[in-house]
Structure 1
Amino acid sequence: MRVVITGGTGFIGTILTEKLKEKGHEVVIFTRKPSSKHNGVHYVQWLTDHAAPENEVGRVDAFVNLAGVSIDDGRWSEERKKQIYDSRITATQEVLRIIRTLPEKPRVLVNASAIGIYPTSLTAEYTEDSTAVGDDFLAKTVHDWEELAGQSNEMGVRTVYTRFGIVLGKDGGALPLIKLPYQLFAGGKIGSGNQWFSWVHVEDLANAILFLIENDDVEGPVNVVAPSPMHMNAFGKTIGKVLHRPHWFPVPSFAMKAALGEKSIVVLQGQHVLPEKLLANGFIFSYPSLRPALENLLK
């Protein structure tokens, strides 16, 4: 298949690109700064003045829309929140515009999303059948993002919303920041420690996207999380064991709020999310449990 990726030069997109190439798929990356190093990938300029990617892309079998400003970098000032929101909406609007111009529509649009759409809770359990939506900034952003991407359904395109959990990778995602206190012998409970931590190894995330591209029977929201979410305190203890570091230095909620501001909701509150749809359709996780995942990433 010929797969177009937006955000393909980022942390997740880079890993996904390699997996697609390994499976023999042709990869096209839409980017503001096309690379001169092709490495078997075709780069097409987009979201710049005079860019017309629809004139260069040719046939498209699948779109994967990963574009958007990272929620991990910096505090969530009003300006930063606007960048996070607008970058996702603008990129998705452009994807939809390009799809409309194509005489032959792609078979599928896999649009990035996040479990942040669900309300934070210590007791609720969320699957893809859950309709509750949170009332915070992240939930609103994800909700509006999915609503917009859903317009591709009107063009006959199978649409999948991949609700990513907290992504763990060696050089990206949440793990580098989370492991740092343990490396400094200062790791410990964050906040109450009872908040849920629904995580996913980046390799499983990329494999899940590939699975969803190739599996015509799946559409709508898909929770891309490992099947074994944990409480934050248990998660921290596992990191300590893998790194052979103590889990002893608590970080109170007020300190996290002072350091991170509104963004502290990501670590102080959480959701218990399960990948029901992936499991029901036969997806097999390489890292369903936390300790093997961390041993792979940290050793």
Structure 2
Amino acid sequence: MIWRRVGATGPKVSAIGLGCMGMSFGYGGADDAESTRTLHRALDLGVNHLDTADMYGFGANERLLAPVVRARRDEVFLATKFGNRTTGDSFGGTGTPGAYVDSSAAWARQACDASLGRLGVETIDLYYLHRRNPETPIDETVGALADLVTAGKVRLIGLSEISPATLRAAHSVHPVAAVQMEYSLFTRDVEGEMLATCRELGVSLVAYSPVGRGLLTGTITSRTQLAEDDWRRTVPRFAEGNLDANVKLANAVREVAGEIGCTPAQAALAWLLARGEDILPIPGTKRVRWLEENAAAADIRLTPEQQIRLREAVPAGAVVGARYTEAGMRTVGH
């Protein structure tokens, strides 16, 4: 495994991390035993950057990680998030079922304490605002996060799916170590002002969904492969018609990967790693097999020509469908 620093002054972590959401949320049935094996195997391979959030399984994902993290705390760089709340469960109390974004200082403090309790740790290495409510001033949220750092409950702070202007404003209150954004061959929106702002400020870009929510693995060709409770069935890129067009793009990536001598997922991850030392992909999986494949991508060094060919396999604007539903898209970019 190769190592990259988080932010300007943070610790070095594995260049490829592990997104843990799918172990408990969104991608069909859970298999806690296999997920636990995957977590331990990740640490054995040097994949120490584990990414979770309080909303993943409404706390279940943090509780899943807890025994592994406690047993191997010195080996883990632990990231979790807050800001997405639901009504009718432990995060939102009682009321009409639904979801909303809460980036208030009060919720930052309450959510942090709850995550620390579920995870069974004293300190979170990287604590993100998962989504931002634009009605809450960013200096209020970041001020609360800074207080959590002072209290020793959080080491580094991060933001997810925010605007460059918000990043600048937040960074003026307290240094931001990382911004988590969707970034892959299929989603390259960050390559303009967002990435430039991160680099100006010395902020790492943590790339989630780096293999296009599975599309860039080349293994998804039909909606019938997705479980009935797989949330991707609601995502426009996986809709009938859209999926067919996007599979063709994935097949083009597969062809280039074959010439390189790696899998499509490895090519997609290696392409991201080649974008700069400040890019930290966190592919998600709940299976040891896919974890090992993803981790091996850190050893691949693409030539400039191979990087260009992968980019050209997915021309700008060629991906069909938004990355979230209309409601989901309204929660990003604030």
Asked whether the two chains share a fold, i.e. TM above 0.5, the reply is no
Answer 1 or 2: higher relative contact order, Cα 8 Å, separation at least 6. 2
Report the TM-score range of the alignment, normalised by the length of the smaller protein: 0.3 to 0.5
TM-score, length basis structure 2: 0.30
